[in-house]
Structure 1
Amino acid sequence: MSDLATNLQKAEKYLQRFRDTGIQNRIGGKDMDGGDGETFETISPVDLKPLCNVARGTVGDIDLAAKTAMAAFKEWADFPAKDRAKILHEIADGIEARAEEIAFMECIDTGQSLRFMSKAALRGAANFRFFADKCLTARDGQSLYAPGQLNVTNRKPIGPVGIITPWNTPFMLSTWKIAPALAAGCTVVHKPAEFSPITARILLEIAEESGLPAGVWNLVNGMGEDAGRALTEHPDIKAIGFVGESRTGTYIMQQASETLKRFHFELGGKNPVVVFDDADLERAADAAVFMIYSLNGERCTSSSRLLVQDTIYDKFTQMVAKKAKNITVGHPLDPNTTVGPLIHPEHEQKVLEYLQIGKDEGATVAAGGGRPDNYTTGCYVAPTLFTNANNNMRIAREEIFGPVLTAIPFKDEAEALEIANDTEYGLTGYLWTSDVTRALRFSDALEAGMIWVNSENTRHLPAPFGGTKASGIGRDGGDWSFDFYMETKNIAFAMTEHRIPKLGG
């Protein structure tokens, strides 16, 4: 039996319970149907066949979940930090114990390849361990001296928070948001993306089996226009952590404006990878290919614009095209697959439309350009490279969110910086050069929240993660996460009998 056949058997075994019972909402430690009894189907992008039914949450379901999170907040906020850390470590253990199940369900539900999803559980567990270790210092502050005065700061959890996660790597991104919220002492209402709800349910099961008190973490599935909107508008929800499209972020801000919520947005990107002619070209080509074609190109940090110095443009784009053509497209559970199907027919159609737009704009298809051969079903798009492009083209300006790379030449450092910054987005940037002073100058002037020099996206958990412009608001990672999930309080103690102004007597 082939590896793919074996993995398909295992995946079906893991999936069967969801086929039998569907996925219900989970509020206060209890399974619940949607308030009006409606469900929706989640389908596999591999063959478009239904996977299971999912409860469609209503405004009433969100209201119950928010009130449950509020009722549980004080107990969880007052939970001893060492006990909170212990639970988070046990969640990490539980994630690792179910790593295969998580990976297989993520592959089937999202189309992401096992090559990358095999690490999803390990990354999720690492997120919980990192923030478990920070529980003991989460509330720590500073002592700030002034003449005759001592200021002492501390931090307190902000309250119940709403977490809205995307469909591209839902398990890892759920852990990335929820682990620091729990470590800070917040309670959670989680609404996962409707296209990929399965692993959110697995994650909550693990948390409750690890001793997390009922009501601390509540799960409501549903659509953005009803469950999502109700969550952003609910007065008991004090903050919204959202990962998704920039346009959706603007809607959330509008919806939540009357309740003056705090926001953390990780939004879209049109990230440049800039390659100068003094770079290590082979390493730069490998990094550029990895950052656009891994995870099916469905990642906010993908390097979707390739800016190459004109003296090496033809040579370098030929290197990238050769690598792109050699990428294996296939079933996500096949260990040999690099690029699997895109998440959903709606998204596949969007990406295919951009391929036609690129051709109509006059760009050259150097690799890919459509559906791969021999795939008549499923949401498959071939790894694509456009050359002879410029930064005014739609394929260079708009987020495609698929395995599509647009290569643009530049003459010198000034032009490279102008092109790189000429975008509404500002999430990441990637720079390849052997000139240290150029690297310092260029990275300082590049308008992006995160920049990697002579490297692909390698995450360091204590470092800040987030973007500028239309790519987001706020930072995750390390203490930056606690700045979002906690309120900082300052207490000023008079150390002398200073003069108090007298009024009225």
Structure 2
Amino acid sequence: MSDLQTNLAKAQAYLARFQQDGVLNHIAGKAMPALDGTTFESISPVDLKPLARVAHGKAGDIDLAAKAAKEAFPAWAAMSGKARRATLHKIADAIVARAEEIAFVECMDTGQTLRFMEKAALRGAENFRFFADKAPEARDGKSLQGPGQVNMTTRHPIGPVGVITPWNTPFMLSTWKIAPALAAGCTVVHKPAEFSPLTARLLVEIAEEAGLPPGVWNLVNGLGEDAGKSLTEHPDIKAIGFVGESRTGSMIMKQGADTLKRVHFELGGKNPVVVFADADLDRAADAAAFMIYSLNGERCTSSSRLLVEESIYERFTAMVADRASRIKVGHPLDPESVVGPLIHPVHEKKVLEYIDIAQGEGATLAAGGAKYEGPGGGCYVSPTLFTNVRNDMRIAQEEVFGPVLSAIPFRDEADALAIANDVQYGLAGYLWTSDVTRAFRFSDGLQAGMVWVNSENSRHLPAPFGGVKSSGIGRDGGDWSFDFYMETKNIAFATIPHAIPKLAK
């Protein structure tokens, strides 16, 4: 048997449970169908065949889960950081033990290729380990001296929180949000994306088998307009952590306004990779290709705008086009595949429409630009590069969220910065230059929450992660995650007898 055939046989064995039992909600430690018994169908983007029937949670299911999270909160919050650390490390161990199952299910559920998903499962374990080790210090604060006074700050978990995760790399992104919430002492109601619900079911199951108390982590599947809306409006949910589209983030903010929800948003991006003539062009071309074509281009930090200095524009875009044309598109379980099918026919249609729009606006197709006839007949799109793009074109302004790169020439540093900042988004930026002073100047002027200089997106877990403008609110990573999931309290102690104001003689 070939590697692909072997992997397909394993995947079918892992998926059999979902095809037989469906994808259930998980509330107060119990797997259960939706209260009204309704389901929706999840399909694989590989061949568009059904993977499972999924419990279609609605307001009643969310209410049940929120009450379970509220009931479990006092005991979980009161547990010592050391005890929470031990539990979270057990969850990480259990993720590692089932890493192959997680990766294979994620490949078939999302279309992401195995070469990336096998690492994503292990990255999920790493997220749990990182925040596990921070749990004992989560409540630590500062000592602040004032005149005749010492201030002591401390932090406390905010309460039950809602976590709404996207369909791209859903397992890893769920751990990125949920691990710090648990480490802080919060309880969770998780609503995964309806396009890719399978590994969320695995994750909560893994957590409870590893010793997480019932009700600390609850899972409700559903659609944004019913389960998602109910979660953001529920009075027992104190905060919402959301990863997804900017438009949806705006809706969540409106829905949570009446209950004064705290929100943390990681939203869309139209991130520039800026290449100056003095850069190491081979490394820059590899990084530019990696950041748009890996993960099928379905990543918020993808470098979807390629800004290149005029003097090297033709040469450099030819280098990227050559790389794009040699990328293997194929079945996600084929170890040789780099790009797999896009998540869903609805999204595939959107990406192909943007390719047509770009050509209609006058952009030049330099690579790809069409549906790819991949194995299974699913949602495959060839790695695509457009040249002669202007920054006012829709292809340069709107988030495509697929393997589509737009190359724009610039004259000088000022022109490059103006083009880079002339979008509604501000999540990430990538800069390639050998001029150190330019690197400092340019990265300082770039309107983005994160900038990588002479590098692709290489994450350091203690560093802050998040965007500006329409790309988000707040930061994840290190103590920044605890700033969201915890309330800060200040206690002031008088250190000298001081005159108390007298209002009566």
TM-score, with structure 2 as normaliser: 0.99
Distance 2:420 2:308 in 1: 11
1:467 corresponding residue in structure 2: 467
User: 1:290-439 alignment to 2 at 5 Å?
Assistant: 290-373=290-373, 377-439=377-439
Distance 1:254 1:373 in 2: 42
Cα deviation code 1:117-151 (max 9, x no counterpart) = 01011100000000000011000000000010000
Aligned AA for 1:489? K
Distance 1:283 1:374 in 2: 29
Q: Does 1:13 align with 2:13?
A: yes
2:117 corresponding residue in structure 1: 117
1:232 corresponding residue in structure 2: 232
Q: Does 1:160 align with 2:156?
A: no
Deviation at 1:376, TM superposition (A): 8.0
Aligned AA for 1:226? D
1:24 corresponding residue in structure 2: 24
Contact 2:329/2:374 (<8 A) preserved: no
Deviation at 1:377, TM superposition (A): 2.0
Aligned AA for 1:168? N
- Judged with a 3 Å threshold, the aligned counterparts in structure 2 of structure 1 residues 375 and 91 are, in CA distance, closer, same or farther, namely closer
Aligned AA for 2:350? K
Distance 2:162 2:450 in 1: 25
2:478 corresponding residue in structure 1: 478
Name the SS for the 2:36 alignment partner.
coil
Q: Does 1:212 align with 2:212?
A: yes
Aligned AA for 1:55? A
Aligned AA for 2:222? G
Distance 2:489 2:463 in 1: 24
Distance 1:254 1:105 in 2: 35
2:132 corresponding residue in structure 1: 132
Distance 1:369 1:135 in 2: 48
Q: Does 1:43 align with 2:43?
A: yes
Name the SS for the 2:61 alignment partner.
helix
- Judged with a 3 Å threshold, the aligned counterparts in structure 2 of structure 1 residues 475 and 359 are, in CA distance, closer, same or farther, namely same
Aligned AA for 2:78? D
Contact 2:387/2:407 (<8 A) preserved: yes
Name the SS for the 1:126 alignment partner.
helix
Identity of aligned residues (%): 74
1:277 corresponding residue in structure 2: 277
Cα deviation code 1:210-230 (max 9, x no counterpart) = 110000000000000000000
Aligned AA for 2:309? Q
Name the SS for the 1:8 alignment partner.
helix
Gaps of 5+ in 1: none
Name the SS for the 1:273 alignment partner.
strand
Cα deviation code 1:146-200 (max 9, x no counterpart) = 0100000000000000000000010000000000000000000000000000000
Deviation at 1:262, TM superposition (A): 0.6
Aligned AA for 1:439? A
Distance 2:422 2:98 in 1: 44
Aligned AA for 2:413? E
RMSD: 0.7
Name the SS for the 1:489 alignment partner.
strand
Deviation at 1:359, TM superposition (A): 0.4
Name the SS for the 1:178 alignment partner.
helix
TM-score, with structure 1 as normaliser: 0.99
Distance 1:76 1:431 in 2: 44
User: 1:119-198 alignment to 2 at 5 Å?
Assistant: 119-198=119-198
Name the SS for the 2:256 alignment partner.
helix
Number of residue pairs matched by the alignment: 505
Aligned AA for 2:170? P
Distance 1:439 1:103 in 2: 38
Deviation at 1:504, TM superposition (A): 2.8
Aligned AA for 1:288? A
Aligned AA for 2:425? Y
Cα deviation code 1:224-271 (max 9, x no counterpart) = 000000000000000000000000000000000000011100000000
Cα deviation code 1:447-472 (max 9, x no counterpart) = 00000000000000000000000000
Distance 2:366 2:356 in 1: 14
Contact 2:359/2:365 (<8 A) preserved: yes
Q: Which moved more, 1:443-452 or 1:366-375?
A: 366-375
Distance 1:88 1:163 in 2: 18
Deviation at 1:496, TM superposition (A): 0.9
Distance 2:376 2:484 in 1: 46
Contact 2:162/2:189 (<8 A) preserved: yes
2:261 corresponding residue in structure 1: 261
Gaps of 5+ in 2: none
Name the SS for the 2:311 alignment partner.
coil
Deviation at 1:203, TM superposition (A): 0.5
Distance 2:146 2:90 in 1: 43
Distance 1:463 1:119 in 2: 20
Deviation at 1:32, TM superposition (A): 1.4
Name the SS for the 1:119 alignment partner.
helix
Deviation at 1:372, TM superposition (A): 2.0
Distance 1:185 1:344 in 2: 36
Q: Does 1:94 align with 2:86?
A: no
1:63 corresponding residue in structure 2: 63
